């Protein structure tokens, strides 16, 4: 099988695509025609084996995750997914791998009506680079720079479970029950991009970011771009660990509370949304989140004093031990 057979067998599909896609794969360029009054939101993510994913991950999960991390960026801007390109570097043609990868990829793409409109395929170390294109009404995109003093801080879904899975894989956490591991692994390998929530937050949230490198670090980007500081209640944050069970509760309530809190605050790979909104918007926000069936939790507030302060349930300062992920840190 050659390059072009591979592309047409696994990545080119004859299916109806969104009206904005004028020309899909097969020509020198794809053509997009955004609807009048809309802006294109564009984001790229590169995934390298051994750095962004373990070689043990199933090809289907990898296909899902490769697109999910990109859709998560569109969600953070409040954009609706339209299309994506796929640049793939493969060590060899492995049809079982390609079949699984494309199945996972297209299952998520179809869920979001996001069409594969082109790409590039070469031989090399396994790496996957996806660029997504989304649409957002002009000047309605959610940005990192809009947080205001007094705003509430929220997080969608749950945090920390992807990191827990990684620690179990690494062998640093050994006593996790099977069902906790399964839940955590699912969160690591098959994250849910909060696409509907992102769009529902337009006009309500003042700023947003997706949590990929850890809550504290990513929230730090909002603080920096908005020129503000924040306080986070660690008691509320701990409730965000989804794999909560007798086991994690013991871990977080017992003498060693730090690992679970670190996973929540700095774990990374969560692909949830962190965002801010004024207290006057609380009811509208909760209604919007409920309408898209997504849990959101208020975990703190924005203040003028720069920096990120952690406090426990009684308002006492909590020291922060871990930094967020930085490839060159
Ligand atoms: P070029 O010569 O411009 O690099 P290619 O010969 O690499 O084009 O690709 C031929 C067509 O197949 C192009 O339209 C390209 O967008 C598409 N294509 C290549 N790889 C992929 C892929 N992995 N997924 C989807 N489309 C692809
Ligand atoms: Mg090419």
329 residues of the chain, pLDDT tens digit each: 889 999 999 999 876 566 788 888 889 999 999 899 999 999 999 999 988 888 889 999 999 999 999 999 999 999 999 999 999 999 999 999 999 999 999 999 999 999 999 999 999 999 999 999 999 999 999 999 999 999 999 999 999 999 999 989 988 888 888 988 999 999 999 999 999 999 999 999 999 999 999 999 999 999 999 999 999 999 888 888 776 666 666 665 554 556 788 889 998 999 999 999 999 999 999 999 999 999 999 999 999 999 999 998 888 998 876 555 666 65
Q: Which two tokens stand for residue 300?
A: 């703190």
- Which residue, by CA, sits nearest to atom 2 of ligand 1? 28
Gap between the Cα atoms of 257 and 238, Å rounded: 10
> Model's pTM, two decimal places?
0.93
The pLDDT of residue 20? 84
The b-or-e profile of 215-229 (16+ CB within 10 A means b, else e) is bbbbbbbbbeebebb
Give Cβ neighbours of residue 319 (< 8 Å, ≥ 6 apart).
310
The pLDDT of residue 67? 98
CA–centroid distance, residue 28 to ligand 2 (Å): 9
State the number of CA atoms in the 13 A half-sphere of 195 facing the CB: 21
**Residue of 22, 90, 120 with the most ligand 1 atoms within 8 Å of its CB, for mutation:** 120
- Ligand 1, pocket residues at CB < 6 Å: 7, 11, 25-28, 86, 88, 116, 118-121
For ligand 1, what atom is nearest to the CA of residue 87?
Answer: 23
Among the bound ligands, the one closest to the CA of 29: 1
Helices in the chain by DSSP H: which ranges? Answer: 3-10, 59-77, 95-111, 161-170, 178-189, 195-200, 215-226, 234-238, 246-253, 258-266, 282-291
- Which residue, by CA, sits nearest to atom 3 of ligand 1? 28
- Which residue, by CA, sits nearest to atom 27 of ligand 1? 119
DSSP assignment letter at 206: S
CA–centroid distance, residue 3 to ligand 2 (Å): 9
Angle, to 10 degrees, between the axis of helix 258-266 and the axis of helix 246-253? 100
- Which residue, by CA, sits nearest to atom 7 of ligand 1? 120
The pLDDT of residue 56? 87
Neighbours of 75 (CB within 10 A): 30
CA–centroid distance, residue 78 to ligand 1 (Å): 29
- Which residue, by CA, sits nearest to atom 24 of ligand 1? 119
């Amino acid at each position: 099988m050659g390059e072009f057979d591979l592309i047409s067998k696994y990545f080119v599909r004859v299916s109806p695509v969104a009206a904005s896609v004028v020309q899909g794969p097969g020509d020198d360029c794809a053509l997009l025609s955004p609807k009048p009054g809309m802006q294109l939101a564009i984001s790229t993510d590169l995934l390298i084996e051994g750095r962004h994913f373990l070689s043990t991950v199933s090809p289907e999960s990898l296909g899902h995750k490769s697109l999910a991390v990109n859709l998560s960026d569109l969600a953070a801007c409040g954009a609706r997914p339209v299309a994506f390109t796929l640049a793939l570097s493969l060590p060899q043609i492995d049809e079982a791998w390609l079949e699984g990868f494309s199945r996972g990829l297209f299952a998520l793409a179809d869920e979001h009506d996001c069409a594969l409109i082109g790409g590039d395929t070469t031989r090399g170390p396994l790496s996957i680079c996806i660029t997504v294109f989304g649409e957002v009404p002009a000047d309605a995109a959610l940005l990192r720079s809009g947080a205001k003093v007094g705003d509430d801080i929220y997080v969608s879904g749950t945090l920390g479970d992807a990191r827990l899975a990684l620690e179990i894989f690494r062998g640093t956490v050994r006593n996790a029950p099977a069902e906790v591991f399964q839940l955590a692994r699912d969160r690591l390998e098959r994250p849910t991009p909060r696409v509907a929530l992102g769009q529902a937050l337009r006009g309500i949230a003042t700023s947003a970011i997706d949590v990929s490198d850890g809550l504290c670090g990513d929230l730090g980007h909002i603080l920096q771009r908005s020129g503000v500081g924040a306080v986070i209640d660690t008691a509320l944050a701990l409730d965000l660990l989804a794999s909560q069970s007798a086991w994690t509760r013991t871990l977080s309530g017992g003498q060693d509370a730090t690992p679970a809190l670190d996973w929540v605050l700095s774990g990374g790979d969560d692909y949830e949304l962190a965002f801010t909104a004024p207290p006057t918007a609380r009811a509208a926000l909760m209604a919007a989140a409920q309408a898209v069936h997504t849990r959101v939790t208020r975990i703190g507030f924005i203040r003028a004093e720069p920096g990120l302060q952690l406090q426990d349930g009684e308002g006492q300062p909590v020291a922060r031990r871990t930094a967020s992920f930085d490839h060159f840190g």
